[in-house]
Amino acid sequence: MWYYEKKLQYPVRVGICNPRMAKFLIEQYGGADGELAAALRYLNQRYTIPSRVMGLLNDIGTEEFAHLEMIATMVYKLTKDATPEQLKEAGLGEHYVDHGKSVYYHNAAGQKFDMGVQSKGDPIADLYEDIAAEEKARSTYQWIINISDDPQINDSLGFLREREIVHSQRFREAVELLKEEQSKKRVF
């Protein structure tokens, strides 16, 4: 189903070692509105959505895994040269004790990923949930950019933020397609 190209979807560059920024970025790795949750949500929902928009969920769900890879790369690059003391000062002491410098699925507060992925089985409800998820991810990226002082990280985050906007727009188009389909008169 997938073809893996051994390069990131968009370049990830890091100016300096910054474990505190890594802590914030972990939200988009294992948080409720992060990339893993989005990928799992869309790839699960595609089974109960009309075939007319199934490919959209498949395509965006797959792209979310590419975003997950970018976030993991950022977190790794921001922490790889950090000392245990720097990690502790950045609020990543517990993470370090449990996982070393390995990237792990939890949110910025340290709560482990809990699979709270929404899938109702109603195409319109699911697509509205997807729109909300994309908008929450977009706003989280913007807020991380607002507190970041690393222009190189901000470049990658800006790319991810823009992709969330595109995904939201595509889901909105899918809602309209399905609403149009539902409103057609059926003659038996």
10 Å Cβ neighbour count for 119? 19
Q: How far apart are CA 148 and CA 178, in angstroms?
A: 40
Residues assigned a catalytic role: 35, 64, 67, 134, 164, 167
Q: How far apart are CA 60 and CA 50, in angstroms?
A: 16
Q: How far apart are CA 11 and CA 121, in angstroms?
A: 36
Q: Which pair of structure tokens corresponds to residue 180?
A: 């149009």
CB-count burial class (<10 Å; 0-12, 13-18, 19+) for 22: buried
Q: Cα(first)–Cα(last) distance of the chain, in Å?
A: 38
Side chain identity, residue 119? S
